[in-house]
C-alpha cells in the first residue's frame, strides 16, 4: 500500500484531524439502527404469523438405516419403470452405471452417478427376475448381479436366475418379496398370486385394471397378511407431509374445491416410447404379455406403448390421475368419492390409441363438502400445479409447498387488516433442503419457482421412489404398516375406475358405500 | 496513481459521499446475509449465465466450496462496507469491492439473450448497476479520500496537499 510510504507526512494530530478522521462514524450508527428496526419488524411479523399457524419449521426426519435380515427380491417386469425401481433398490445395469459415470465426467452438474453410488444400501438381494422380452430379461439378470454398483469392468456377484413366467418366480423358495412393474392388466393377477404364496408385494400403480379384480386383490392381501405397498412414491415427498400438517392444523379453513392437473407435451409423456431394435415375435413371449387382455395379433406398438390401449392400460385415470388423487388422499384422507363424471377425447395423438389424451374428471365428496377437479392434457406443458382452496388460505403443492392467506379470510381478517399478514406474500412456504419459513423473500420465491433451490436436500438428494421402497422393506422387517397400503390402494383403484367408467359411459357414476359397488 | 492530487472542498465532499454511499450498500448487503441464517448463495450461483457460468455453478455444487463462498462473500461485504464508510484501509477496501463486483458481473452478465430467474428491476444492455458501481469504485481508487475524511487520516496521517 502506498500509505506505508507516507508515514513521514504524519504530523502532530490536531483536533481538526480527529474530527475529520471520525466524521463518518455516525453513519455506522445509522446503518445499525436501520437494520435493528428492520430485523425487529421482520421478527415481529414472522412471530405473529408462525404463532398463528403453529406449523413446524424443520424438515421431516430422514428414516433410520435399514437393518435386520436380508430380503430376497424377485423383479417382475424390467421395462422403463422396472429399471427405475431396480435403481431405487440400489441395482443398475453395468452399462447404465458406466453411462452415468461418463455423463458426470462431462457435466459436473450431472449427479446421477454420485447419487446412485451413495444411495443407502437397503440390505437386499435380487434373487429372481422375469420379463417376457428376452433382452430385458437378460438385462435384469445382469442388473441383479451388479451388487457392487459397478460398470462393465467391475466385479459382479453370482448370476441370478431368470424365470420364464411370473408364476414360477413367485413360487420360488428363493424369493421373499416381489416388485411388480408390468403393464396395468397384470397388476391384479400377479399381486393375488404373490399374496397367496405369502410373498410381500411392491406393485406399481394403479392397483388394478378392472373393478372386479380390485376386491379380490384386497382380499388376497388382507387374508395373507403380506406387506403390500402401492407405488405412489409421492407419499415420501416432504412438501406433501407439510401439506398434511397444514390440513391437520386447519391453516386453510373449510376446503370446498381442489384442482389437480397433468400437463405433458412430448411423445414420451404421451406414452409413445421407443421400440427396441431386438424386439420380435422370436424375442417376446406374446401370449404371456396378452394374459387376461383381449387377444390381438403380435404388435410392437402395443407391446412397447401398451399405455395407449385400454386392452392393457387404465389410461390417464390409472396412470396419472392416480398420482394426483393419492397425493390429495394422503394429505386430506378423502377416501373414495361419492361420484365421478369425466369428459375428454383423443384430440392430439391420433396415432391409433384408444385412451384419451385430454381428460377432465370431477369427483364429488358431499360428506366433506368438497369437489376434486382433475384436468389433464398430453399436448401442453403449461404448469397448472395442485391447488387446494380453503376459505382462509390456499396452498399450492408440488416439490415445494406455498400457502397464501385469502384476502377475504375470516380467520386471518384481523391480521390482514393490521398489515401483519399480506395476502400477496406466502404465510408459509416450504422448500426441500431449505426448511420452512413465513414470508419468503421475492428472490427466494423466484428461485424456488424455477427449481433452483433444491439441487440438494441436506447436502444430498434423495429419490422418493428409493424412500418409498425402503419404507416397504422396513415394514416387512419390522411388521409396520407402509404408507400406501392395500386400503389406500383400494381407494386409489376404485376412484380411478370411476373416472374411467364415467368416460366410457358418458355419464356420472356413483359409489355405493354400503355395498362397495360402483353404480353406473 | 497519485496520492497528491489537490482536491477542492466540494470535490472531496462529493467523493466522500460517494464512498460512504457505496460503503452503506456493501455493509447492508453483508449484514442482511449475516443475520439471515437461511441465506445461501446457492440460488444466485445456480442462476449464473454466460461464459463463466460453469465456474459459478461448480462453486455451488460442492457444499464445502459453497460454504466458503458464502462466508467470504458475507464478511467480505461487511468489511468492505466498514472500510468505505469509516475510511479505514480505504484503498484495500476499494480494491476488494471492485474484485467482488467483477465476480457479480461475470456471474450475471447483462448481455442480450441471457435470461435470469430473478428479473432485474431495470433494463440493462452490457452496462448494469454492478458495472457502474465498479466504475465508481475505480474513481475512488484514483481519488482516495480516506486520509481526508476517514480513519486513515488518524492512522496514516493526513495528506496535506489535498486540502
Q: Is the CB of residue B68 less than 8 Å from the CB of residue B108? A: no
A39 touches chain B (CB under 8 A): yes
Distance CA A182, CA A401 (A): 32
Q: What is the pLDDT of residue A7?
A: 45
DSSP H or E segment with residue A76: strand A71-76
Mean pLDDT, to the nearest integer, of A57-72?
84
Which residue on chain B is closest to A9 by alpha carbon?
Answer: B157
Q: Which residue from A249, A236, A246, A280 is spatially nearest to A135, judged by alpha carbons?
A: A280
For domain A237-463+490-519, give the fold.
Answer: Dihydrodipicolinate Reductase; domain 2 (3.30.360)
Q: What is the pLDDT of residue B152?
A: 94
Distance CA A19, CA A41 (A): 34
| Boundaries of every domain in chain A | 71-235, 237-463+490-519
Mean pLDDT, to the nearest integer, of A63-77?
92
Distance CA A62, CA A59 (A): 9
Q: What is the pLDDT of residue A511?
A: 98
Is the pLDDT at A431 greater than 50? The verdict is: yes
Q: How far is B22 from chain A (nearest CA, A)?
A: 12
3-state secondary structure of A441: coil
Convert the pLDDT of each residue in A339-377 to its tens digit.
999 999 999 999 999 999 999 999 999 999 999 999 999
Taking CB atoms and an 8 Å limit, are A39 and B35 in contact across chains?
yes
- Looking at the partner chain, which of A9, A27, A453 has a beta carbon nearest the beta carbon of B157? A9
Number of H helices, E strands in chain A: 18, 17
Q: What separation in angstroms does the CA of A323 have from each of A51, A85, A374, A492?
A: 33, 16, 11, 9
Taking CB atoms and an 8 Å limit, are A3 and B149 in contact across chains?
no
Is the pLDDT at A457 greater than 60? The verdict is: no
Q: What separation in angstroms does the CA of A251 have from each of A247, A257, A388, A432, B134?
A: 6, 15, 12, 20, 47
Per cent of chain A over pLDDT 90 is 76
Report the residue of B15, B39, B42, B141 to disrupt the A interface, i.e. the one with the largest count of A CBs within 10 Å.
Answer: B42
Chain B neighbors of A4, CB-CB under 8 A: 156
Cβ pairs A/B, distance under 8 A? 117
Give A 417-446 residues with CB within 8 A of chain B: 434-435, 437, 443-444, 446
A108 touches chain B (CB under 8 A): yes
Q: Which residue from A490, A491, A476, A485 is spatially nearest to A217, judged by alpha carbons?
A: A490
Is the pLDDT at A454 greater than 70? The verdict is: no
- Looking at the partner chain, which of A2, A10, A24 has a beta carbon nearest the beta carbon of B3? A2
A456 pLDDT tier (thresholds 50, 70, 90):
very low
For domain A71-235, give the fold.
Answer: Rossmann fold (3.40.50)
3-state secondary structure of A354: coil
Which residue on chain A is closest to B153 by alpha carbon?
Answer: A21
Taking CB atoms and an 8 Å limit, are A456 and B3 in contact across chains?
no
Higher pLDDT, residue A16 or A458: A16
pLDDT in tens, chain B (163 residues): 445 568 899 999 999 999 999 999 999 999 988 988 778 888 888 889 999 999 998 888 787 898 899 999 999 999 999 999 999 999 999 999 999 999 999 999 999 888 887 777 888 999 999 999 999 999 999 999 999 999 999 998 876 444 3
Q: Which residues of A342-379 are buried (b: 16+ CB within 10 A; e: fewer)?
A: bebebeebeeebebbbbbbbbbbbeebebbbebbbbbe
Q: Is the CB of residue A262 less than 8 Å from the CB of residue A373? A: no
The region of weakest confidence among A62-66, A371-375, A475-479 is: A62-66
Q: What is the pLDDT of residue A58?
A: 75
A461 pLDDT tier (thresholds 50, 70, 90):
low
DSSP 8-state secondary structure symbol assigned to residue A133: B
Q: Is the CB of residue A447 less than 8 Å from the CB of residue A455? A: no
- Looking at the partner chain, which of B38, B158, B160 has a beta carbon nearest the beta carbon of A435? B38
Q: What is the pLDDT of residue B121?
A: 80
3-state secondary structure of A186: helix
Q: How far is B132 from chain A (nearest CA, A)?
A: 22
Q: How far is A230 from chain B (nearest CA, A)?
A: 34
Q: How far is B145 from chain A (nearest CA, A)?
A: 11
- Looking at the partner chain, which of A11, A17, A452 has a beta carbon nearest the beta carbon of B154? A17
DSSP H or E segment with residue B58: helix B53-61
Distance CA A329, CA A334 (A): 5
Q: What is the pLDDT of residue B57?
A: 86
Q: What is the pLDDT of residue A453?
A: 41
Convert the pLDDT of each residue in A131-152 to its tens digit.
999 999 999 999 999 999 999 9
Complex prediction ipTM: 0.86
| Boundaries of every domain in chain B | 9-157
A382 touches chain B (CB under 8 A): no
Taking CB atoms and an 8 Å limit, are B58 and A6 in contact across chains?
no
Convert the pLDDT of each residue in A83-109 to its tens digit.
999 999 999 999 999 999 999 999 877
The region of weakest confidence among A38-52, A429-443, A494-508 is: A429-443
Mean pLDDT, to the nearest integer, of A24-29?
93
For helices B53-61 and B63-86, angle between their N-to-C axes, nearest 10 degrees:
110
Amino acid at each position: 500500500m502506498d500509505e506505508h510510504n507516507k508515514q513521514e507526512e504524519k504530523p502532530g494530530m490536531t483536533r481538526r484531524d480527529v474530527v475529520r478522521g471520525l466524521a463518518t462514524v455516525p453513519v455506522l450508527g445509522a446503518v445499525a439502527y436501520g437494520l435493528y428496526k428492520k430485523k425487529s419488524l421482520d421478527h415481529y411479523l414472522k412471530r405473529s404469523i408462525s404463532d398463528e399457524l403453529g406449523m413446524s419449521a424443520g424438515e421431516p426426519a430422514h428414516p433410520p438405516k435399514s437393518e435386520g435380515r436380508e430380503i430376497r427380491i424377485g423383479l417382475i417386469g424390467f421395462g422403463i419403470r422396472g429399471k427405475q425401481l431396480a435403481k431405487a433398490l440400489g441395482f443398475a445395469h453395468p452399462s447404465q452405471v458406466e453411462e452415468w459415470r461418463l455423463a458426470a465426467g462431462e457435466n459436473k452438474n450431472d449427479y446421477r452417478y454420485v447419487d446412485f453410488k451413495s444411495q443407502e444400501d437397503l440390505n437386499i438381494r435380487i434373487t429372481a427376475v422375469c420379463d417376457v422380452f428376452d433382452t430385458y430379461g437378460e438385462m435384469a439378470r445382469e442388473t441383479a448381479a451388479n451388487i457392487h454398483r459397478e460398470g462393465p469392468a467391475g466385479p459382479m456377484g453370482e448370476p441370478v436366475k431368470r424365470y420364464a413366467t411370473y408364476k414360477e418366480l413367485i413360487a420360488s423358495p428363493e424369493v421373499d418379496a416381489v416388485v411388480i412393474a408390468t403393464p396395468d392388466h397384470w397388476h391384479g393377477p400377479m399381486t393375488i398370486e404373490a399374496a397367496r404364496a405369502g410373498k410381500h408385494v411392491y406393485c406399481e400403480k394403479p392397483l388394478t385394471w378392472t373393478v372386479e379384480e380390485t376386491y379380490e386383490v384386497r382380499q388376497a392381501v388382507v387374508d395373507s397378511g403380506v406387506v403390500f405397498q402401492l407405488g405412489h412414491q409421492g407419499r415420501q415427498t416432504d412438501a406433501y407431509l407439510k401439506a398434511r400438517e397444514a390440513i391437520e392444523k386447519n391453516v386453510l379453513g373449510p376446503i370446498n374445491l381442489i384442482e389437480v392437473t397433468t400437463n405433458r407435451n412430448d411423445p414420451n409423456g404421451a406414452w409413445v416410447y421407443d421400440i427396441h431394435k431386438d424386439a420380435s415375435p422370436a424375442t417376446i413371449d406374446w401370449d404371456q404379455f396378452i394374459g387376461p387382455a383381449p387377444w390381438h395379433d403380435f404388435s410392437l406398438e402395443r407391446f412397447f406403448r401398451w399405455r395407449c390401449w385400454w386392452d392393457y392400460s387404465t389410461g390417464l385415470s390409472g396412470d396419472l390421475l392416480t398420482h394426483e388423487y393419492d397425493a390429495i388422499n394422503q394429505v386430506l384422507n378423502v377416501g373414495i368419492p361419492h361420484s365421478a363424471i369425466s369428459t375428454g377425447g383423443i384430440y392430439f395423438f391420433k396415432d391409433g390409441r384408444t385412451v384419451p389424451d385430454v381428460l377432465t374428471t370431477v369427483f364429488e365428496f358431499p360428506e366433506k363438502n368438497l369437489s376434486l377437479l382433475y384436468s389433464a392434457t398430453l399436448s401442453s406443458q403449461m404448469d397448472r400445479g395442485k391447488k387446494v382452496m380453503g376459505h382462509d388460505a390456499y396452498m399450492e403443492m408440488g416439490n415445494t409447498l406455498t400457502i397464501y392467506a385469502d384476502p377475504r379470510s375470516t380467520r386471518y381478517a384481523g391480521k390482514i387488516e393490521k398489515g401483519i399478514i399480506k395476502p400477496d406474500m406466502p404465510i408459509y412456504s416450504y422448500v426441500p433442503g431449505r426448511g420452512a419459513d413465513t414470508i419468503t423473500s421475492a428472490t427466494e420465491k423466484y428461485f424456488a419457482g424455477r427449481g433452483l433451490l433444491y439441487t440438494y436436500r441436506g447436502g444430498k438428494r434423495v429419490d422418493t421412489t428409493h424412500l418409498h421402497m425402503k419404507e416397504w422393506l422396513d415394514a416387512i422387517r419390522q411388521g409396520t404398516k407402509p404408507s400406501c397400503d392395500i386400503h389406500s390402494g383400494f381407494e386409489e383403484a376404485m376412484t380411478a375406475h370411476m373416472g374411467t367408467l364415467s368416460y366410457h359411459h358418458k355419464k356420472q357414476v356413483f359409489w355405493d358405500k354400503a355395498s362397495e359397488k360402483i353404480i353406473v | 496513481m497519485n496520492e497528491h492530487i489537490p482536491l477542492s472542498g466540494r470535490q472531496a465532499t462529493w467523493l466522500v459521499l460517494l464512498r460512504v454511499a457505496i460503503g452503506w450498500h456493501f455493509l447492508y448487503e453483508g449484514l442482511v446475509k449475516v443475520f439471515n441464517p437461511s441465506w445461501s448463495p446457492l440460488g444466485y450461483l445456480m442462476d449464473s449465465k454466460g461464459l463463466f457460468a460453469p465456474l459459478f455453478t461448480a462453486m455451488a455444487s460442492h457444499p464445502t466450496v459453497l460454504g466458503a463462498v458464502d462466508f467470504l462473500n458475507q464478511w467480505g461485504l461487511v468489511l468492505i462496507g466498514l472500510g468505505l464508510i469509516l475510511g479505514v484501509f480505504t484503498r484495500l477496501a476499494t480494491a476488494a469491492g471492485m474484485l467482488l463486483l467483477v465476480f457479480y458481473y461475470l456471474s450475471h452478465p447483462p448481455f442480450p439473450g441471457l435470461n435470469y430467474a430473478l428479473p432485474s428491476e431495470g433494463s440493462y444492455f452490457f452496462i448494469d448497476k454492478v458495472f457502474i458501481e465498479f466504475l465508481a469504485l475505480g474513481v475512488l481508487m484514483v481519488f482516495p479520500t480516506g486520509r481526508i475524511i476517514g480513519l486513515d487520516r488518524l492512522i496514516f496521517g493526513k495528506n496535506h496537499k489535498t486540502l
